[in-house]
Amino acid sequence: MAFVSLIALREVTSDQQEITYFGCHRDVDALCSHPAPNGQHTLKWAIRVKKGTRNYKCVDYYTAQCCNQHKFQRIDWSPHGSITIPNQDLTYCKKNGE
């Protein structure tokens, strides 16, 4: 069995948009987080790089997160495609991927 460690890789595009590439293990959710006012974070789904893989990216200086599966499923019902959570809820996530 091979052990592969994926770490977050950062890239800045020509228009100065930061992109973070990362991976998450099976049965966890790939999310992107950004600090929000009052001790909170904004969460949105990460963008899958290629269909059928567990490789993702976050854009606009968002931080890569691998979170407990379905913990933040309510993002699906948000009209903005994101939710705001208290900082302590990030304990359900692993920062910068797995």
* Domain locations in the chain as residue ranges: 9-95
Residue 10 pLDDT: 54
Q: What are phi and psi of 49, to 5 degrees?
A: -70, -45
Q: For 14-50, how does the pLDDT look when each residue is reduced to its tens digit (9 = 90+)? A: 556 789 999 999 999 999 999 999 999 999 999 999 9
CB-based contacts of 97: which residues, under 8 Å, 6+ apart? 6, 7, 8, 22, 23, 24, 30, 56, 64, 66
Q: Give the mean pLDDT of the chain.
A: 88
Q: pLDDT, tens digit, for every residue of 45-84?
A: 999 999 999 999 999 999 999 999 999 999 999 999 999 9
